[in-house]
Chains A and B, each alone.
Chain A
Amino acid sequence: MKQWWRRLVGARLASAAVAEVRPPTIGRGLRPEQVLRPVRPAFIWATLVGAFFLNLLPWGRAIWVPDFFALTLVFWNVHQPRKVGMGIAFVFGLLMDVHNGALFGEHALAYTLLSYGAITLHRRIQWFPLGSQVIYVFGLLLVAQLASAAVRLWVGGASPGWWVGLLSSALGAAIWPLLHSVLLAPQRRPAKRDDTRPL
């Protein structure tokens, strides 16, 4: 009964061994890197505004829902740090504060910190495979959320169970690979428009 399983593992090991002896092609990574097409600023803005609208949907008490805007902001900070900076993060943070009835500047502070972290780490994050990027993104989102929690605890009055909101960081990090493939898809298009081009 276990034979098929052993055969499968054997095959995997054998292929791993083959991969092992293959000479490294590009640096350490072994990943072929695609040269991306330039990004269109309109696309950046559309995704940022779209993510903000997603946040405005009436989620109610479902505070575990990931902060879509924060995720998109991190993505563009990592991939286009010269086009999307802390100013945009700050302004959208203020809008978010008004919508949520939070203290004026609370989300602005959190998003500014998030943006700074993402811009500072952008070269490092891009170097890692997607799976490891998730850990970095989780860390960044968590720092931003803890910053806003610190503000609330400092000003006074935190509702019971606020830490459930930290779950939204984990969920947000979990959808990072999906977001990555969607937001990078327009730049991955082949240059020639033909029948095989997916987008």
Chain B
Amino acid sequence: MEYGPPPLFNQGVSARARLAFFSLVAAVLIVIDAQVNALDAIRNGVEILLYPIQRVLLWPRDVAEDVGGYFATIGGLNDENASLRKVAVEQAQRAQMAAELKLENDQLRKLAGLRERLDPPSQLVTALYESRDPFSRKVVIDRGSNDGIRAGGPVLDEVGVVGQVTRVFPMTAEVTLLTDKEQSLPVQVARNGLRAVAFGGSEAMTLELRYLPTNADVESGDSVVTSGLDGLYPPDLPVATVTRVDRDVKDQFSRVILKPVAGMSKSRLLLVLMVNPPPLAPAAASGRETPAGNLRGDRAAAKAARR
């Protein structure tokens, strides 16, 4: 490298200069993308280019699954059928009760002069693939802004909350799972209505409740549901069950580990609720993810409470 190459073998810009240039560009892109959403237009363009290829490459997996499903044993199908029948009967009973309760509830609410609770419109989507990113838990779904999906919408499966739409492309959208470390949602313990904020856990496939005092009334086995305080998730959706509560006297807060209820089934059908994100609180407006801004506000409040 000490000698300059004769013009015949001129290699153009040196490798080090190229490295410096491309690393600098990459670093600038990373910083911009981490701080503001200015690069979404470029990202959308690239995603539109990639989309047909992605769909074609999903095809071998789908064919393999179809073939596998074709050869499912009759025994397995019988078992599944029996359990589904049982569930259907149970749910029919529950549905009747729910209808009755809803009527009664509506009447009571009218009597009390309260606003009726509206069921947000929803859309059935299919999960295309999980992103192969070891640093985050994301799923890509097959509907995007063309179908009216907006960032911030809660995503459910047949048992509970799966996550939240965090990025929207024209044809697809990215759903960040609850178990992602960056994700948080306001919850309450179903047994006693104790409110808390659930964050992605430090262990794989777990959630944790933070900032609960050591004497908080949480036991393992408690079911945790959304509290609806954020105005984004409807209240009383199942989120997780408590698996472990560590009360260390040295610590100010107890350590509550949850296991999410959703995402256990093999089915890839999901439900996106089309809720309008609530207006941002002024303090949270500087947050990076706008839809989760109110959650960040929650986090800040919790931090303030800690001091």
Contacts and interface: CB of A to CB of B under 8 A. Distances in A.
Interface of A: 53, 55-63, 65, 82, 85-87, 89-90, 93-95, 98-106, 108-109, 112-113, 116, 119-120, 149, 151-152, 155-162, 164-165
29 contacts: A58-B58, A58-B129, A61-B132, A63-B132, A85-B18, A86-B15, A90-B22, A90-B26, A94-B46, A98-B47, A99-B131, A100-B132, A100-B133, A104-B30, A104-B39, A105-B26, A108-B25, A109-B23, A109-B30, A113-B23, A120-B15, A152-B135, A155-B30, A156-B182, A158-B135, A158-B181, A159-B204, A161-B204, A162-B134
Contacts of A159: 134-137, 180-181, 200, 204
Interface residues of B, number: 50
B181 A98 contact: no
B83 interface: no
B22 A108 contact: yes
Contact of B22 (A86, A100, A120, A156): A86
B204 A160 contact: yes
Contacts of B26: 90, 93, 105-106, 108-109, 112
A105 B33 contact: yes
B37 to A, nearest CB: 10
B29 A65 contact: no
Interface string B30-51: 1011100001001100110010
B15 A116 contact: yes
Interface string B191-204: 00000000011111
Contacts of B132: 55, 59-63, 65, 100
A49 to B, nearest CB: 10
B50 A101 contact: no
A156 B182 CA distance: 9
Contacts of B47: 98
Nearest to A98: B46
B227 to A, nearest CB: 24
Given A58-B61, A105-B29, A119-B15, A160 B54 contact: no
Contacts of B22: 86-87, 89-90, 108-109, 112
